[in-house]
Chains A and B, each alone.
Chain A
Amino acid sequence: EPEVTQTPSHQVTQMGQEVILRCVPISNHLYFYWYRQILGQKVEFLVSFYNNEISEKSEIFDDQFSVERPDGSNFTLKIRSTKLEDSAMYFCASSVGTSGNEQFFGPGTRLTVL
């Protein structure tokens, strides 16, 4: 069964550094998403991406964040100048469409900012 993959599984960084989280969505999916989950809290939507541009973003997704689909398979989330409060699980998801289509989530990247 096809699945969404994410790398790395765990990323440790120093405050102020930039990190890039990588995702490989399911190959025939057209919509891509990033969510995050701070430990013990609910899953929060960050951004959706379709046709090489952002479709929607949340208030969390400010100028510190950016997404890119650099090639036909990868989907990345860049976090610039990381802060302690950026520590969380970051989940990538993809779907065929948006109407009536389930989203498939990856296993997540645990980001720890020291």
Chain B
Amino acid sequence: LAKTTQPISMDSYEGQEVNITCSHNNIATNDYITWYQQFPSQGPRFIIQGYKTKVTNEVASLFIPADRKSSTLSLPRVSLSDTAVYYCLVGNAGGTSYGKLTFGQGTILTVHP
């Protein structure tokens, strides 16, 4: 399972764009990159998943360079409610063939007024 490295914490202000980068140098050919969000005392929530280039949905964008050794989650115009822990997961469609998700420590994003 590819190891991921992401910043422990980040601070931002309302209305700003936030980019959280995750390193995964030993990503395998069939691995996907998946991001989850977790609010305090709640279960993780899927944000976005991608394999290469760029993926965009109504919540975020995911940028993956050609070598796939890193990825960047981009949150446009954050609000206070985006304060949460963000997890980068790398594996076969987010986990092993049986769906197991392996979470790291994640990035604590704090959005200030």
- Residues of A at under 8 Å CB distance from B? 4, 31, 33, 35, 42-45, 48, 50, 55-56, 58, 89, 91, 93, 95, 97-108, 110
Contacts and interface: CB of A to CB of B under 8 A. Distances in A.
B25 to A, nearest CB: 20
B16 interface: no
User: Across chains A and B, which 6 residue pairs bring their CB atoms closest together, nearest first?
Assistant: A105-B43, A98-B99, A102-B46, A55-B98, A43-B103, A56-B98
A106 B38 CA distance: 12
27 contacts: A4-B43, A33-B99, A33-B100, A42-B103, A42-B104, A42-B106, A43-B38, A45-B102, A48-B99, A56-B100, A89-B41, A91-B43, A97-B99, A98-B93, A98-B97, A99-B92, A99-B93, A100-B49, A102-B34, A102-B46, A102-B49, A104-B46, A105-B44, A105-B45, A106-B43, A108-B42, A110-B41
Given A43-B103, A108-B41, 15 more contacts: A42-B106, A43-B101, A44-B103, A45-B100, A55-B98, A55-B99, A56-B100, A91-B43, A93-B43, A98-B98, A102-B46, A103-B94, A103-B99, A104-B46, A106-B43
